[in-house]
Structure 1
């Protein structure tokens, strides 16, 4: 990596000598204090601050004299006085007369390092870049880059500039925002394909026929891309769409058996991190079958995998600690009957439909309000006053875990 960096700096040095040789660039000896003075005077006169190109007109002898005396210098590129047009493949023909708004730009700084504009042109040429797609904020710099290509006698790439992507409130999206950083999204449990679909819906270039109800694969996106479909207007990112796409991606991952190991390990890690007080993971239900059952059950309820370890879903992994009071007469006897009945139920008949039917019959038989029985069972199984239907809870926890929790309460 270090050698590549040194080699790239050496390339820039070689290329800038070509521009000096063909008089497309020149040495500038203006001091920082002079530049500040120019800026203050321009602002005072309500003009656009820019370099006055003073050193462009130094003679060869004057330049040699200053170099011999080791005067500090930078190297500037000579902007053409003729406006350079850009055939933008998204915005069409664009003309910026940059010589009216700025002076000759620095291409090699006083410390010997190249500026972005110069490095961009040289690197793109050496890497044989044919097309450049970049943000609209760089469009005003493109004529400058094309001038540099022509000064080198190189063929410039095809340019296309992309509209701004805005926050939901209309402000400009910034890389300094934590919530749009890739690392932040990764930590938040957002999958790459969800981010990709989220962005392409904001910027265009794709069909998006399925809308936010369908997540497109990498292969589909590659086949669909059409630069002519990119919108020229700025677009807002809507956070709720990102979560919707992530939900779709989770379902897609679960449907593919090849992802089982990855998903199981991800959930195990999330559960262990969510319940750090469980020494050696004691009491945590982390077997593969249970995790996959929870995932398939939860895919329509969650937007991120981490949602499965929030307090409302803690019962899926740990035995609830909050005690439940039995105030209704006969409830304890009914619990014992339920316990016995479930023990005798085979796995084929252990599902929410059969469970709900049985519980209603039992409540009627013992004259206990069904709501009371369900509230009691929900408390025993999850420690929650509200939550998923009890039949679903019992099905998702599985027969053995359900029996364990009811037995624990009875005893």
Structure 2
């Protein structure tokens, strides 16, 4: 903000990037070593707060702007106040045609509902700055009349020359105060200024700042002031539009904004705003400047980072509340809670909100985003009543994509006659998923699978990849590979059940026969779990085979894996008919291997060395 004073216009909205300034902020805040925020500064006010989100339609929403909007939204909701949307569109040359419409769409997607705004109106409108020019003119004229500002009729080229001379003088050691009146228009009389303006001569209006640095009271940085007095700065541009500095001060006052939460890059400019409040005789709102977002290399996130853009999160099926959760934790943490978790719904954030923000830069960790995404997926699946629109968007569609992209695996020629060449869908899966259209027809079936295969996290793609042989019948190759691992890791040759040793074929037959004896009406978790536990009790173990159990061969036969959810949960999910089909397939594969042992060795399964 120490650049050319004639360019101190809107530039960008509060959510846009600025050079990293956290080091400067910490240094200048340290000028007040005796000052510390007390707990009361972080507590929520007892009266309703009016907050605002004031983006510029010169681009689209990004992570920083979503965080700014969220903090202001949470404060308003936590105090039963109002959340205001205002468009700061005074930089007409940089407007993006569809940015305003996209803004409304994105805020609706993010479920950050505002109480007043350009598209819904309100008692303090209009809420689009380009529609408030007469209001700004009124306040600029007041400052002119009171001698707190002056008109500048210089051309941009002349101002370039003046600024270059001023910069050179400062570098040469001239005192800042000696250069306050270097602009020749400063010395034009009020009468001449008024006459030239009335004849249509173009002009900017420049504010005469306080001769001494002004202090800013900030919730995060406590007390802040720049080392030098402020340079003169433009409050009305030659095109008749106000600069950001004037417009945001006038609007915040007239719209009765009580709290301004914005990025720390704006703290350096805030003394100018406080100066304007003082000039108008108004009380400033409470400021809270939150830390800049940086990457793992401590570099400020810029538009070159994909993870900055809101579209990036949408494309990755991040649910709005997962993004809220992620953004909220970038410089803030909830009050102490019984649950030791970062997972929060929007209601949790409102109920636990306070104003203790992190001072300094905030590193963006996308690994936490993946974790929160999966936590919120579990919440979407398990909450009652379900948000059907959210479930369809963030559970059903990604799951359909994963199911449609499942790679069909061909069997090797060795047992082509034993099992189908490509995996068959489980009977229940066929009934719940239309393979021709690639759409889910029975969501409850897949949610039930998610329920018993998931403890805390759920990712549709990983679910299909990990539990594909729950949804499809395991092909020969999958059963073969899993059996090979079972034999190699656990030296599995069979089980001693009671006093009789059963080889691998006999073990599968033993399990299949018991399962066949259980009627459909008893095919439930309670009965099956007891039956399988009774089977396992009969398995004889000794010091040489401590790992022997009925679960491993049963797990292998069901889903071609050594590990998985409880086998009785799987069997209830698959149903009696599907379970018996899989046991028959497992028996055929086992018979093939037992026969093969007498001939050519199969890796890991061949004849035992003599």
- The two structures have a TM-score, normalised by structure 1, of 0.75
What is the deviation of 1:26? 2.1
Number of matched pairs:
400
1:333 Cα deviation (Å)?
11
180-189 vs 117-126, greater mean Cα deviation = 180-189
Whether the aligned pair in 1 keeps the contact of 2:508 and 2:583 (CA below 8 Å) is no
Q: Residues 264 and 292 of structure 1 are in contact (CA less than 8 Å); yes or no, is this contact kept in structure 2? A: no
Q: Between 131-140 and 43-52, report the one with greater CA deviation.
A: 43-52
Q: Say which structure is richer in helix.
A: 1
Matches within 5 A, 1:103-122: 103-122=231-250
Secondary structure of 1:143 counterpart: helix
> In 1, distance between residues paired with 2:339 and 2:566?
35
Map of 1:9 onto structure 2: 133
Asked whether 1:269 is paired with 2:450, we answer: no
Residue 136 of structure 1 and its aligned partner are, at CA, apart by: 1.9
Map 1:280-295; keep pairs closer than 5 Å.
281-282=435-436, 286-295=441-450
Question: Is 1:238–2:419 an aligned residue pair?
Answer: no
78, 86, 102: which one aligns with 2:216:
86
1:129 to 240, 252, 257: 257
Shift of 1:145: 0.7
Whole-angstrom distance in 2 between the partners of 1:47 and 1:317: 73
Q: Judging changes above 3 Å, is the alpha-carbon distance between structure 1 residues 80 and 322 closer, same or farther for their aligned structure 2 residues?
A: farther
CA distance in 2, matches of 1:404, 1:261: 35
1:312 to 466, 478, 490: 466
Quick check: 1:150 aligned with 2:150? no
**Shift, 1:123, TM fit:** 1.2
Q: TM-score, normalised by structure 2?
A: 0.54
Q: Partners of 1:39 and 1:314 in 2: how far apart?
A: 69
Decide whether aligned partners of structure 1 residues 276 and 199 sit closer, same or farther in structure 2, where only a CA change above 3 A counts: closer
Give the one of 183, 197, 207 matched to 1:77: 207
Partner of 2:341: 213
Q: After superposition, what is the alpha-carbon deviation per residue over 1:40-76, rounded to whole angstroms, capped at 9, x for unaligned?
A: 4456667399994442222235424543664432222
Distance 1:302 1:352 in 2: 27
Q: Is the alpha carbon distance of 1:31 and 1:61 closer, same or farther for their aligned partners in structure 2, counting shifts above 3 Å?
A: same
The answer on whether the counterparts of 2:217 and 2:224 sit within 8 Å (CA) in structure 1 is: yes
Q: Distance in 1 between matches of 2:245 and 2:135?
A: 15
Is the Cα contact below 8 Å between 1:326 and 1:376 reproduced in 2? no
Hey, what's the Cα distance between the residues in 2 that align with 1:4 and 1:186? 28
Of stretches 53-62 and 71-80 in structure 1, the one that deviates more from structure 2 is 53-62
Q: Name the SS of the counterpart of 1:106 in structure 2.
A: strand
Deviation at 1:373, TM superposition (A): 7.3
Aligned-pair distance for 1:372? 7.3
Pick which of 177-186 and 116-125 moved more.
177-186
Partners of 1:86 and 1:163 in 2: CA distance: 17
CA contact (8 A) 1:202 1:235 kept: yes
Q: Gaps spanning 5+ residues in structure 1: where?
A: 380-384
Aligned counterparts of 1:155 and 1:123: Cα–Cα separation in 2: 13
Q: What is the CA distance between 1:258 and its match in structure 2?
A: 0.4
SS in 1 for 2:260: strand
Task: For 1:304 and 1:326, locate their aligned partners in 2 and report how far apart those are by CA, in whole Å.
Answer: 28
Candidates 564, 568, 581, aligned match of 1:388 = 564
Q: Which residue of 1 aligns with 2:145?
A: 21
CA contact (8 A) 1:339 1:403 kept: no
Structure 2 residue aligned with 1:378: 559
Greater length-normalized contact order (CA 8 Å, ≥ 6 residues apart) = 2
Instruction: Quickly say closer, same or farther: Cα 1:224–1:289, change in 2 above 3 A.
Output: closer
Out of 293, 305, 324, the residue aligned to residue 177 of structure 1 is 305
- Output the CA distance in 2 between the equivalents of 1:340 and 1:347: 12
CA distance in 1, matches of 2:583, 2:183: 86
More off after superposition, 215-224 vs 331-340: 331-340
**How far has the Cα of 1:358 moved from its partner?**
8.7
Give the Cα separation in 1 of the matches to 2:162 and 2:463: 61
Residue 187 of structure 1: how far off its partner (Å): 3.5
1:336-358: CA deviations, max 9, x gaps?
A: 97399358453215888468669
Q: Structure 1 residue 118: deviation in Å?
A: 1.4
Aligned to 1:59: 189
Q: How far is the alpha carbon of 1:157 from its aligned partner?
A: 1.4
RMSD, aligned α-carbons: 4.4
Distance in 2 (alpha carbons) for counterparts of 1:196 and 1:175: 20
| Match of residue 159, structure 2, among 29, 32, 35 | 35
Q: 1:347 maps to which residue? A: 523
C-alpha displacement at 1:287, in angstroms? 1.5
Structure 1's 155 and 281: CA in aligned 2 closer, same or farther, altered over 3 A?
A: same
Q: What's the CA shift string for 1:232-261, capped at 9, x where partnerless?
A: 343434333333334443444444320174
1:12·1:122 contact (CA, 8 Å) conserved in 2?
yes
Deviations 1:171-220 (A, max 9, x none): 32446633244443343233444444444444236324457625344444
Report the Cα offset of residue 299 of structure 1.
3.3
* Change over 3 Å in CA distance of 1:98–1:281 after alignment to 2: farther
